[in-house]
Chain A
Amino acid sequence: MKLWLIPALPLIGSFILIVAGSRLSKRMVAIVGSGSVGLSALITLFTGYKFISTSATSFHYQAWQWMDVAGFSPAVSFHLDALSLVFIFVITFVGFLIHVYSTEFMADDDGYARFFAYLNLFVCSMLTLVLADNFALLYLGWEGVGLCSYLLIGFWYTEEKNGYAARKAFIVTRVGDTALAIGLFMLFQNFHTLNIQQIAAQAPQQWAVGSETAMVISLLLLGGAVGKSAQLPLQTWLPDAMAGPSPVSALIHAATMVTAGVYLIARTHAIFELAPDALMIVGIIGAATLVLAGFTALTQFDLKRVLAYSTISQIGYMFLALGVSAWSAAIFHFMIHAFFKALLFLAAGAVIMALHHEHDMYKMGGLKKKLPIIYWTFLIGASSLAALPLVTGGFYSKDQILWLSLAGEHGNIWFFLFALLGAFITSIYTFRMLFLTFFGNEKTHVGHIPGNGITIPLLILAGLSTIGGFIELPHSFGHFTVFSNFLNPVLPSVSVQEGFESIEWMIQLIAAGVALSGVYVAYIFYIVKPGLSEELKTSAADLHKFWFNGWGFDSLYDKLFVKPFVFISDINKKDIVDLFYDGLVWISNFFNRIFSYTQSGILRWYIMGIVIGGILLLTLGLIKN
């Protein structure tokens, strides 16, 4: 069983690059960096094959006992089941493609070795996160990915604002992690173990559905998930995280790390199912986030920020799916999203590199002819994101969520309407982005034509995001459910409410119609009548500004938390407690000064003192008698 090799190989790669990176040639760095992840992808493939062919439900490997104190005994041990297999597949394969892409993308950077070291470390942490068999090890991976995210957002560290964005990402996600940690304390208190499988098995026995403890724990876990997955109310860090290099945005802030929250909730679905109210909140957060982020994406001009908000929005879909107990639908959308969003980010990175680090979409345009491969792959990714019917992977995954948000056992019409609205906005901003970037006139000179290192990963991802959708087809055509069947041992399937089966095709028709009309709206606004959007912007300037700033969350948190904290620590820089001790010192000095007046050094004063003292004593003695 080579399970441990999957996370260990990238770790070794990272270690080599950290220790000897400065002495290796760029070629060697690329080989070590990409090779380690590539090997781990191969082993994943091999393990996956073995897993499926033996039709095992899980593989287990314990590396060593991490701690063992008073019944708290987490081990460094890995647990592979269908859910983690999907995740490690995405992580290693998409990760490998992004590594290959980076070998060209980062070729001129001074921190080449450092970049691959961090990236490898990230892959290792992410794999640990999804393979962990207990929450303590999961937490290790969880924080590890947070660290790598910090390091990679601030990769170009000479810019002050990159460092700021990196710290923001780390600290905001750590707020969520605090909730997660407290959730773990509660879990341990209730189960005396942090082993995920044991907890999942014991939870239904220990708690009734709707139990208060289950509710609190679910909400705390949700807190962690919300932080990592950039959902309301902790979504503010992700747009700023775009300060990192594009491959980082693709790998960490689109494909893998930000979906860790989805993984966590799916992994602990046994607990969430015992707390229907918490599940409802998950759904509400997802629905609200996907719409909010969608509107914000509409107003951005920075190509990568549009993608960032779109990521937030798409993860909102996954949360919505989790909220209606459509577990495998969420994971399916995660996988497809990983393909097409990584593709979009990488393509965007290629565009930005070609245009000398120009991020503003309004300064791009006409790239269709200059960068044909990028254009076509971007188009495929964008179609998938907009869920254009039938031919794209995104259609199948998103359609399933739309359908279950209405028809699933926990679904309701509001979730459906929000999801539909989100789908409409998604296709508008996606094609707005496409039209602005690739159509129209060329506004910036194309400097760098991407080579094979960039185009091949793009092509592969484009292929994956198209055919990936066909492994799970809805009832109305084909009813081909390889993916959900595969996940079924881990994630129970969702039952559909009575009377909805017959209208599934209608829902699909509506979804398709909404997606296409979104494209049409974008077409009108940005190709047919380019002035229209400007008019709209000026007529609703306040709303535009509000949306543009992400619904004012940043400034709200700034006023609510950051400013007071900085204020308090600044005014207290000198440590107010010290004043007390300074006061003590002052008091003793004061008395010292007072009494030292008596020591005038003049003999006659002393004699006077003796005389007065004598007289006083005598009088006192006389009075007493």
Chain B
Amino acid sequence: MNEIQVTSGLLLAAALFMLGLIGVLIRRNIIFMLVCVEIMLNSAGLAFIVAGSKWTQPDGQVMFIFILTMAAAEVSVGLALILQIHHQLKTLDGDAANSMRG
């Protein structure tokens, strides 16, 4: 099996992170934003895995499991919020939820 380059692994993680970030920034649909947040989380997880395998330490995988649990919690809270927003505002447009405007 070919050793996968650390650099390419990290590049992939960075690319995924940027995709997620851009998604969060430009999408107005909250569900898409949530999905993009998930992508960013996973890219971070990927970076941990790559780093873990590079240093041959288990910490990277431990962190990934942490991220998974956190993502699960986040999704559940996020979805609940989305449901509420949809219920209150009858829309999934994130920008419409700007009643906290100063």
Which residues in A have some Cβ–Cβ distance to B below 8 Å?
595-604, 607-608, 611
Q: Is the CB of B47 closer than 8 A to any CB of chain A?
A: no
Report the minimum CB–CB distance from A512 to chain B (whole Å). Answer: 97
In the complex, A598→B28 CA distance in Å?
19
Contact of A602 among B24, B26, B94 (CB under 8 A): B94
Cross-chain contact A604 with B98 (CB below 8 angstroms): no
Cross-chain contact A611 with B102 (CB below 8 angstroms): no
Q: Is the CB of B95 closer than 8 A to any CB of chain A?
A: yes
Q: Is the CB of B80 closer than 8 A to any CB of chain A?
A: no
Cross-chain contact B102 with A604 (CB below 8 angstroms): no
Cross-chain contact A601 with B98 (CB below 8 angstroms): yes
Report the minimum CB–CB distance from B3 to chain A (whole Å). Answer: 29
Closest to B98 in A: A601
Cross-chain contact B97 with A601 (CB below 8 angstroms): yes
In the complex, A604→B30 CA distance in Å?
10
Q: Is the CB of B101 closer than 8 A to any CB of chain A?
A: yes
Which chain A positions have C-beta within 8 A of B94?
602-604
Report the minimum CB–CB distance from B88 to chain A (whole Å). Answer: 14
Contact of B102 among A595, A607, A608 (CB under 8 A): A595
Interface bits B7-51 vs A (CB < 8 Å: 1, else 0): 000000000000001001110100001000000000000000000
Cross-chain contact B102 with A602 (CB below 8 angstroms): no
Cross-chain contact A603 with B102 (CB below 8 angstroms): no
Cross-chain contact B98 with A611 (CB below 8 angstroms): no
Cross-chain contact A604 with B25 (CB below 8 angstroms): yes
In the complex, A40→B58 CA distance in Å?
119
In the complex, A596→B98 CA distance in Å?
13
Which chain B positions have C-beta within 8 A of A608?
25
Cross-chain contact B100 with A604 (CB below 8 angstroms): no
Cross-chain contact B100 with A599 (CB below 8 angstroms): yes
Which chain A positions have C-beta within 8 A of B100?
599, 601
In the complex, A509→B5 CA distance in Å?
140
Contact of B98 among A595, A598, A600 (CB under 8 A): A600
Q: Is the CB of B99 closer than 8 A to any CB of chain A?
A: yes
Knowing A595-B102, A597-B102, A598-B102, the reply to whether A604 touches B97 (Cβ < 8 A) is: no
B43-101 CB contacts (< 8 Å) to partner A:
94-95, 97-101
In the complex, A372→B102 CA distance in Å?
92
Please name 12 further chain A to chain B contacts, defined as beta carbons within 8 Å, in addition to the given A601-B100, A602-B94, A603-B95, sorted by A numbering. Answer: A597-B102, A599-B102, A600-B102, A601-B97, A601-B99, A602-B95, A602-B98, A603-B33, A604-B24, A604-B26, A607-B21, A608-B25
In the complex, A603→B101 CA distance in Å?
10
Report the minimum CB–CB distance from A588 to chain B (whole Å). Answer: 14
Closest to B94 in A: A603
Knowing A597-B102, A603-B33, the reply to whether A611 touches B97 (Cβ < 8 A) is: no
Contact of B21 among A597, A600, A611 (CB under 8 A): A611
In the complex, A598→B98 CA distance in Å?
12
Contact of A601 among B24, B28, B33, B101 (CB under 8 A): B101
> Could you list 21 A-B pairs, sorted by A, with CB under 8 Å?
A596-B102, A598-B102, A600-B98, A600-B102, A601-B97, A601-B99, A601-B101, A601-B102, A602-B94, A602-B95, A602-B98, A603-B33, A603-B94, A604-B25, A604-B26, A604-B33, A604-B94, A607-B21, A607-B25, A608-B25, A611-B25
Contact of B95 among A597, A599, A604, A611 (CB under 8 A): A604
Which chain B positions have C-beta within 8 A of A595?
102
Which chain B positions have C-beta within 8 A of A604?
24-26, 28, 33, 94-95
Closest to A604 in B: B25
Report the minimum CB–CB distance from B10 to chain A (whole Å). Answer: 15
Report the minimum CB–CB distance from A520 to chain B (whole Å). Answer: 95
Report the minimum CB–CB distance from A150 to chain B (whole Å). Answer: 60
Which chain B positions have C-beta within 8 A of A597?
102
Report the minimum CB–CB distance from B39 to chain A (whole Å). Answer: 14
Report the minimum CB–CB distance from B73 to chain A (whole Å). Answer: 19
Report the minimum CB–CB distance from B9 to chain A (whole Å). Answer: 20
Report the minimum CB–CB distance from B95 to chain A (whole Å). Answer: 5
Count chain B CB atoms within 10 A of each CB in A597, A598, A599, A601 and give the residue with the most. Answer: A601
Report the minimum CB–CB distance from B4 to chain A (whole Å). Answer: 26
Which chain A positions have C-beta within 8 A of B21?
607, 611
In the complex, A608→B95 CA distance in Å?
14
In the complex, A596→B33 CA distance in Å?
25
Closest to A597 in B: B102
Which chain A positions have C-beta within 8 A of B24?
604, 607
